[in-house]
Structure 1
Amino acid sequence: MDASLLEQSEKCIECGICVKQCAFLKKYGTPKKIADNWQVHDEASLKMAYACSLCSLCTAVCPVKIDPRQMFLEMRRYAAASGRADFSAQALLMNFEKRGTSRRFSFYGLPVGCDTVLFPGCALAGTRPQRVMQLFDHLQGFFPNLGIVLDCCTKPSHDLGRSAYFHGMFAEMQQYLAGHNIKNILVACPSCYAVFSQYGKRLTVRNVYEILAREFWQSEPQLPAAPVTIQDSCVARFEKSMQDSVRKLIQARGVAFEEMKHHRKKTLCCGEGGGAYFVAPELAGNWAEMRKSEVAGKRIITYCAGCAHFLGKVGPTAHLLDLLFDPAAVLAGRAKVAKSPFTYLNRLLLKWKFKRKIEYGFSRERIFTCEE
């Protein structure tokens, strides 16, 4: 905590570049001002950090290469560890995570000889279960003994600062996988990719888009000529290889695209980031308004299920896997996407199908839970 505050206080030159980009910083001031005025016993200081989207745009545009996001995350961790964080506003998010790690919704299926698993994430499994199954079937051509893990990476708790709970849950997952000789995790969710990349030290994480981009995809004939645009996930703003693969796949399907002003490293948050919309919807909602002005009526393609949901309010939005497996339906606006509460039913049905899909050498439903 002290190191993060000191870095912002000493290195921030208050140029205002990050403030110009961000409604949160426009309200609270430069990173230096926030660091200098932060009071450990002040309730307003503790609550303020939860209004940040943790999207790292401030980090991306900073001319002196400091990381304000880390300071806000450390503030959250301090609030949680000291028992002074009030998570009542984020109850919906925490319950979503809790269901994902529960015995009812989780499933690990590891065939004999399996060293690689697909980890699709919570949102994709609920909104697009058919794409998860299509993706699994497709990846089996590369990994014949591919396993499946339906679980939550617990990034919500990570971003809320609930470090003890996050590390406990993630460590148990990693220990189980490594203990069953799993070496590779294939993820479709940028948030899962970020978590496994940073904390999955005993595992190698790969995103499915880089794998898919290495093969030949037939260009789809007679698609609409109107270009789409691409929403890069803020969690993956520094993942150039992932971004390149996404664009290669879109082009491979014969779809033209035009970039928005804020893309790749300088992409905008969709509004979901950091759970800020639960405590500061007016600030989180500003991201969507900025996106709306840049989209200019184009269809949005994204590789984050959360972005696909949140930006659906801005304009027609589809997930990249929808475009890969059924481009005509996507561009005609006919792609099927479930919404809550049906997403939970979809996850249960997907689990049921995977349990019966192939023969597993090892399988489990997760019963472990971690006390904070």
Structure 2
Amino acid sequence: MKWKHKLDVNMRMSKYFSFRTSGKKVFFPGCSLASGSPELVTKTYSHLKASDSDLGIWLSCCGMPCKKFVSTECHDDSLDKLEEEIRKGGVDEILVACGNCSKSLGRLKERLPNLKISSIYSQLKIPEEKKEIAKTYVVHHPCSARSDKSFRESFTRLSETMKIPLEKTEKEHPLGCCLVNSDSQKQKVNALSEKNLITYCGHCVQKFQKKIPSKHILQILFDMEGKLKNGSTLVGFRKIKKNIKHSDSSQKENLKIGEG
């Protein structure tokens, strides 16, 4: 199946599906959020852009699936393509929503020492109309964040600012990797089946929500109901691109009306 993962990454990074607007600072939502909820990505970008009108968005793959499922060579090829785009667009800061993206793109700092990789969770503001959060949640830190203290802490600070009721658990990590299907993992999942789970990884939500009521922190931030779909990243990219172009067209039309 290595060829399939490689093909998926190449398609996501191709000129037919990837998409980047201009901006020295760009939001890089990653593949899982894009496939799970294009609407959530669009909402997050609009929210970030309200505080920074020059912010761009970049829809592409970070190349991590290559590293995990194909080869180091495949991952290096992906990084070459990303580096080319960064240089071409004059990008100097990338805002990431995914820990895997943070780790993979972080490798580019060896080639681009001035490149800054930042967590969106350290830059999000609470919407004025935000409802009080009634449910209590158990936190799941995704694998990628367990070795990335700053990324993990950005989530913790945001959850505290949002005043999300969090339940203390006996173990810091009550669940293992979402890709693991061992007997031990099944027991852990069953033990939390009556709880509410919060995390900051789209793929973890897609996996765990089958057995545990699970939410991405962005869903809670924007009061978005429903589950993250286990959809196509390519379709997700297309929908987000369409939403953004429609939004930009509407804003330009409103400016024309105002000027008239």
3-state DSSP of counterpart to 2:84: helix
- Conserved in 2, the CA contact under 8 Å of 1:270 and 1:310? no
| Structure 2 residue 203 is the aligned partner of structure 1 residue 306 | yes
Alpha-carbon shift at residue 262 of structure 1 (Å): 3.8
Alpha-carbon shift at residue 158 of structure 1 (Å): 1.2
Mapping of residues 109-120 of structure 1, within 5 Å:
109-110=21-22, 114-120=23-29
Match of 2:19 among 83, 94, 107: 107
Alpha-carbon shift at residue 107 of structure 1 (Å): 1.0
TM-score by length of 2: 0.82
Question: Which residue is equivalent to 1:205?
Answer: 117
Question: Which residue is equivalent to 2:51?
Answer: 142
Larger Rg over CA atoms: 1
Mapping of residues 252-267 of structure 1, within 5 Å:
252-263=161-172, 266=173
| Structure 2 residue 231 is the aligned partner of structure 1 residue 347 | no
Question: Which residue is equivalent to 2:192?
Answer: 295
Percent of aligned positions that are identical: 24
Question: Which residue is equivalent to 1:131?
Answer: 40
Mapping of residues 89-238 of structure 1, within 5 Å:
90=2, 92-110=4-22, 114-160=23-69, 162-201=71-110, 202=112, 203-212=115-124, 215=125, 220-221=130-131, 223-224=133-134, 226-238=135-147
3-state DSSP of counterpart to 1:152: coil
- Conserved in 1, the CA contact under 8 Å of 2:130 and 2:221? no
Q: Aligned in 2, Cα 1:252/1:147: closer, same or farther, shift over 3 Å?
A: same
Distance 2:108 2:184 in 1: 28
1:305-330 Cα offsets, whole Å, 9 max, x none, are 1100111123111111101011xx5x
Match of 1:325 among 219, 222, 226: 222
Distance 1:242 1:294 in 2: 27
Alpha-carbon shift at residue 233 of structure 1 (Å): 0.8
Gaps of 5+ in 1: 1-87, 273-282, 360-372
TM-score by length of 1: 0.59
- Conserved in 2, the CA contact under 8 Å of 1:106 and 1:351? no
Question: Which residue is equivalent to 1:63?
Answer: none
Question: Which residue is equivalent to 2:150?
Answer: 241
Q: Aligned in 2, Cα 1:338/1:268: closer, same or farther, shift over 3 Å?
A: closer
- Conserved in 2, the CA contact under 8 Å of 1:223 and 1:255? yes
Q: Which has the higher contact order (CA 8 A, sep 6+)?
A: 2
Distance 1:269 1:92 in 2: 26
- Conserved in 2, the CA contact under 8 Å of 1:125 and 1:347? yes
Distance 2:243 2:127 in 1: 27
Mapping of residues 37-76 of structure 1, within 5 Å:
none
Gaps of 5+ in 2: 250-260
1:84-117 Cα offsets, whole Å, 9 max, x none, are xxxx3x555444323312333211211xxx2101
- Conserved in 1, the CA contact under 8 Å of 2:96 and 2:102? yes
3-state DSSP of counterpart to 1:194: helix
Q: Aligned in 2, Cα 1:218/1:290: closer, same or farther, shift over 3 Å?
A: farther
Alpha-carbon shift at residue 220 of structure 1 (Å): 4.7
Q: Aligned in 2, Cα 1:297/1:350: closer, same or farther, shift over 3 Å?
A: same
3-state DSSP of counterpart to 2:123: helix
- Conserved in 2, the CA contact under 8 Å of 1:109 and 1:355? no
3-state DSSP of counterpart to 1:149: strand
Distance 2:145 2:184 in 1: 17
Distance 1:356 1:221 in 2: 28
- Conserved in 1, the CA contact under 8 Å of 2:6 and 2:74? no
Tell me how large the CA RMSD over aligned residues is.
2.6
Q: Aligned in 2, Cα 1:287/1:344: closer, same or farther, shift over 3 Å?
A: farther
| Structure 2 residue 178 is the aligned partner of structure 1 residue 271 | yes
Q: Aligned in 2, Cα 1:143/1:178: closer, same or farther, shift over 3 Å?
A: farther
Letter of the aligned partner of 1:246 in structure 2?
Answer: F
